[in-house]
Structure 1
C-alpha cells in the first residue's frame, strides 16, 4: 500500500492532479468538505457544477462521480462524488466503495496520476469512522488503482488516527 499516503490537513491545499469532493447529489454547495472546496475554488466551481445536467433532481447519484475543472485550486480537476447517508442507505458499504471506485476511475480516465481524497460520508452523513476507513483503504488498494498516488487528507487528529490504525492493520494482514 505504498501508493497510499495519509495526511492530517486541509484538502483544499492539495496539489495532486485531482481533488475528490464529498458532494451532495445536486452538486450545489453544501457544508463540510464540499463547502470548503467550493470556497477555495471560487465561483467557477459552482458554475461548472451547474452545467452538469440534472436527472430527476440529481446531478450525481449516490456512488457515482462527476468531474469539473478546479477553479482556483492547485489541482487540475475536482471529482465530485456522493457517498451514502449511513442511517438511511440500504447498502451503505457498497455505495461507499462505489463512490471511491468511481472517483478513481474517473480521475484515471482524465489522465490523472495523483488523487487527493477526503473521508467520504464521515461528516454529517454519519458513516462510522473505522468501517469507512476500512472500505476506503481496501477500495483504493484494488489492483487497478496501484499505479495512482493516493493521498487521504483527513480533517482532524481523530479521523487521521483511525485511518492510520486501519492502514497498519491492512498492511499487517
Structure 2
C-alpha cells in the first residue's frame, strides 16, 4: 500500500495520531518562535535538555529526541536553510526532508507530521518550498517502507491551499 500523503491546517504541537512531529529547528535546537517555540512549550523543559548535547546542527541536518509532553513518541529536529544565505538552498531544504524520513525509518516511526520547513522566519518562498517538500518526500518514501503516513501541518489557510494544490498536481 502506498504511503498516505496529506495536508491540513492545524497545530503541529497537537497531532496525537502521529508517531513523530518534525521541528523547524534553529541551529542550537533551542526554544524560539514559530514551530520550535510551539513544540518546546508543549513538550516542556525536558525537550530543551535533551536537545542541548545534539547541538549545533547544520542546514539540512536532522536529529531525533523523545517527545516528552507532546502526544507523540519522537520529535525530529531539522535545520532548514535561510533563504538567500545558506547555499545551495534547494539542496539543503530537500536534505532536511530526506534526513527526517531516514531517521523515521531507522526508528520504526510509521507516521510523521512536517511543518513547512524554512517557509516562515527563514524566508523561503512558499510555492518553491512546497514544491521541494512534496517532491522530495514523494521521491524518498519508496526507500522508507515502514512509513505509512506523512502529514504536512500548515499554520494558515493560504499555506494549506498551496500545499494541497501542489500535492494534487503531483498525483
Deviations 1:17-48 (A, max 9, x none): 11100001111112110000000101110010
Write the distance in 1 (CA, Å) between the matches of 2:143 and 2:83: 27
2:76 to 71, 74, 79: 79
Write the distance in 1 (CA, Å) between the matches of 2:114 and 2:145: 15
* C-alpha RMSD of the superposition: 1.3
1:100 to 83, 97, 102: 97
Equivalent residues of 1:3, 1:147 under 8 A apart: no
**Could you tell me how far 1:51 is from its partner in structure 2?**
2.7
1:165 aligns with 2:165: yes
What residue is the counterpart of 2:60 in the other structure? Answer: 63
Write the distance in 2 (CA, Å) between the matches of 1:93 and 1:145: 22
**How many residues in Structure 1 have an aligned counterpart in Structure 2?**
166
What residue is the counterpart of 2:13 in the other structure? Answer: 12
**Could you tell me how far 1:99 is from its partner in structure 2?**
0.4
Equivalent residues of 1:25, 1:61 under 8 A apart: yes
User: Which stretches of structure 1, 4 residues or longer, exceed 4 Å deviation after superposition?
Assistant: none
What residue is the counterpart of 2:47 in the other structure? Answer: 45
Counterpart mapping for 1:91-170 below 5 A: 91-142=88-139, 143-145=142-144, 148=147, 149-170=149-170
Equivalent residues of 1:65, 1:102 under 8 A apart: yes
Deviations 1:47-92 (A, max 9, x none): 100132x4xxxx2111010111101001100000000001212211
Query: Gaps spanning 5+ residues in structure 2: where?
Result: none
